[in-house]
Amino acid sequence: MPELHVPDFHLQEQLPGQMTMAHAAQLPVEEVLDQLGSGSGGLASVEAAKRLADVGPNAVRTHQASGWSVLGRQLGSPILILLAITAGLSLFLGDATNSIVIGVILLVSVGLGFTNEFRAERAAEALHSRVTHLAAVLRDGTLDEVGVTALVPGDVVHLAIGAIVPADIRLLTAKDLLCDESILTGESLPVSKDPAPVTGAVALADLTSCLFMGTVVQSGSCTGAVVATGGRAEFGRIALGLGERQPQTEFQLGLKRFSYLLLQVAIVLTSLIFIANLLLQRPVIESLLFSLAIAVGITPQLLPAVVSTSLATGTRQLAKRKVLVKRLVCIEDLGDMDVLVTDKTGTLTEGRISFTAALPAGEGVSPGALLTLGLLATEAEYSEAKVSTVGLNPLDTALWASADAAGFLPDRYERLDVIDFDHLRRRTSVLVSEDGGPARLVTKGSPEDVLALCVDTPSGVQAMLDEQFNAGSRVVAVASRAAGGMTAIEPSDEKDLVLEGLLVFLDRPKANARASLDQLEMLGITVKIATGDNAKVAEKVCDELGVLSGGTLTGAEVEALSDAELAAAAREASIFARVSPEQKARIIRLLRQSGGSVGFMGDGVNDALALHAADIGISVDSATDVAKDAADVVLLDKDLGVLAEGVMEGRRIFANTIKYVLMGTSSNFGNMFSAATASVVLSFLPMLPGQILLNNLLYDTGQLAIPGDRVDKEQLLAPSHWNIGFIRRFMFLFGPISSLFDFATFALMLFAFNAVPGEFRAGWFIESIATQTLIIFAIRTRRVPFLRSRPSAGLLGASLGVVALGIFLPLSPLAGVLGFDPLPTPFFLALLGMTVVYLVMVEFAKRWFFARTAQQPPVRPAVIPRRRPTHHISRRAARFSTPVARPLRGQLVRGGRKRKARTTHRR
């Protein structure tokens, strides 16, 4: 983690309405507002727009698709680097034909890969722009929500529990405020904050009157004035220093391991061929060029283009379903998931919570009075909440939106103090006075926690509570006591309460939830529910949906179990009820250690830890800031059916990528093994270097239709993984089978047709194109080709077109230029027969190969990838992102001129 220091006030260049945090922290609140040119009512909208034009957006990233970045990633492929080196050596050694052919391969691969990936990046950019991150801001004296990137110095913002601090802020007011600053300081304990000016030291940890961009409000609430935005904020400087690099996914690591396998095979085969040709006293340059052609020929040159095309196709399909994948390669991670832990609200239920009833606990309280107490025990100001429910939790929003709340008169009540909700206490308490009378303490929260604080609870309350839980209702308990003489309250004052009654809410199950769960089950994904609700409520919802539960674990039971015991219990249980954020993350971690790839879907503040702990974090556009920032995938519609579509798309992409890998490595290995053997036995080269590369170019071009190919249903029912051992075994079985028919072709040309070198090369060129192109129809499926598994029209047309072109070239006017001689007609009849026999033999070999125990999917290794702190910084920085290019790193923009800004943080 970078070591941070607050910059000296005099070192940082100033813009209108700006100051440094070190300076702002030491000034009284009124003077800070004065120097920022603001006031307690915030900025005027016109002034805010002017400042935004002056200082630029509050952003540290751009999600604008960059053509140069995409091109750089394409050119960084090890396979393409090998091609470029070979082209340069060929040109240096005087073989212009080889150099041109390799250059064409490079252009085709880079061009196709760039086009498809750039289109996918543009699609991701459009989706990213639809995901909004909002902040509650005072503009023109009115509280409103604006995008976080539109904040400017001088804005006055309101923050509550769970909010991500949107800029560097000087506190104006605060109540029980604790802030998690671990993303900046590495300290895991929350820091207490207070508006009082600081004196003396100006180290980051000592600025208790300030909040910093990217940190999280863990408890309490506050208002504050924005001091610094974008790259001038402390978090912004770190994010800019990290650049745009992202940690590699499992799919990318698999591609890297596959590239190492190809490199090993290419080096061994090329070295042996070159040494053998030198021992046979062949010309050195000719031997070197032939060896280089073999090295290039054994690699699937268009693999980067195939992967990019697959990702682009998947991104477009997911975009139609309103799924935002923050990184394209996360699509494969989504397909790898086999355990999904999700919250209940909005996924299994409609997510539209409605207030249904107020049930008094005794005869002395009317339903109306109980509702009034519930309205009083909210964190919002009463007059504001009656007008707008912005920033309230869903239950309080439903309470204020109810028809009965219209009669509430906020002017009758004065709130003296409040203890905000937190996930440990699970309740909110207020100290209120009615019409200037004595104070009263009102507490509202989860029934279990509130009842534990009550005295003389009526005997029928538990039965009433069970009845509501059994009906699937969400219930909040309200209790109170007299608090005469008190002007402030602490958590220790929440005692000796009298239960006033229960507030009942309803969130109905989704009509399509059952179908979505069936779809996930068909995909081999085990769905588990983690909720803060009562266990009976969760069980009722599952029962209504016809979900067979494997059991329920409550938060108390989770806490009592050791890691080993919980790991075993979590694999069986289907519902985790009344679990804390830490318990959710612990459950996710132990499920991963059990060998599963675990996805977590959540949208609340208490879901952030679990989202970070999961292999694939999934959230929704309406989620809290913390949840969206921790997620890898954001659903613009909160629907498990949409998620199932995303899983299938990820698996389809992986399946089609593996088709190309298996076909390319086995066919290429067979052809190059044949060429190596023939070059030692024959008195001439079996195929010229340029012919080898042309063969591969035609063959690979035909396979660019693979990303759009159909995938058999059984390939989607379980996740697949990179298995280098499987690829190696496949290559060493089907490669020699290909070589067997190559040798048959050699014998036919030499002994039946007495072929000269030009005829020999033409015959093998055609046979090679036909066999290695048509084998895709056998390799693309474990079923019987065509009869039980039909390829896509695009793949069929492309493959047959390549075979036709491969036959045409040795017969065309270009034959002489390419080094081919005309072939006798009987050869084509023999070719047809050999091709049919080859495909039949491959089909039998395929059945034998996949029937062996060694080829069954391996058990997933129980390995948890370690995530560095930069992983979280990169995720958090994504919310401070604009769709337009930002100024250069470390520069401030003013009046159209760029000025260098000096900072004193060091990494």
- Active-site residue list: 343
Nearest to 697 by CA among 86, 98, 105: 105
DSSP letter, residue 8: P
**CA 659, CA 777: separation in Å to the nearest integer?**
10
How many Cα atoms within 13 Å fall on the side-chain side of residue 589? 14
Residues 713 and 782: beta-carbon distance below 8 Å: no
Angle 91-92-93 from CA coordinates, rounded to 5°: 90
End-to-end CA distance of the chain: 8
- C-alpha of 520 from chain center: 19
Task: Extract the tokens encoding 581.
Answer: 């954020």
**CA 551, CA 543: separation in Å to the nearest integer?**
12
Q: Residue 111's CB: how many other CB atoms inside 10 A?
A: 12
Residues 418 and 431: beta-carbon distance below 8 Å: yes
3-state helix, strand, coil in the chain (%, to 5): 50, 15, 30
Structural Rg of the chain based on CA atoms: 34
Q: Residue 463's CB: how many other CB atoms inside 10 A?
A: 9
The one-letter amino acid at 302: L
The helix (H) or strand (E) run that includes residue 171 is: strand 168-180
**CA 652, CA 657: separation in Å to the nearest integer?**
9
Residues 614 and 597: beta-carbon distance below 8 Å: no
Nearest to 876 by CA among 586, 584, 608, 588: 608
Q: Residue 544's CB: how many other CB atoms inside 10 A?
A: 15
**CA 190, CA 176: separation in Å to the nearest integer?**
12
* Separation in Å, CA 113 to CA 67, 108, 303, 424, 724: 12, 8, 9, 50, 24
Task: Extract the tokens encoding 812.
Answer: 């065309």
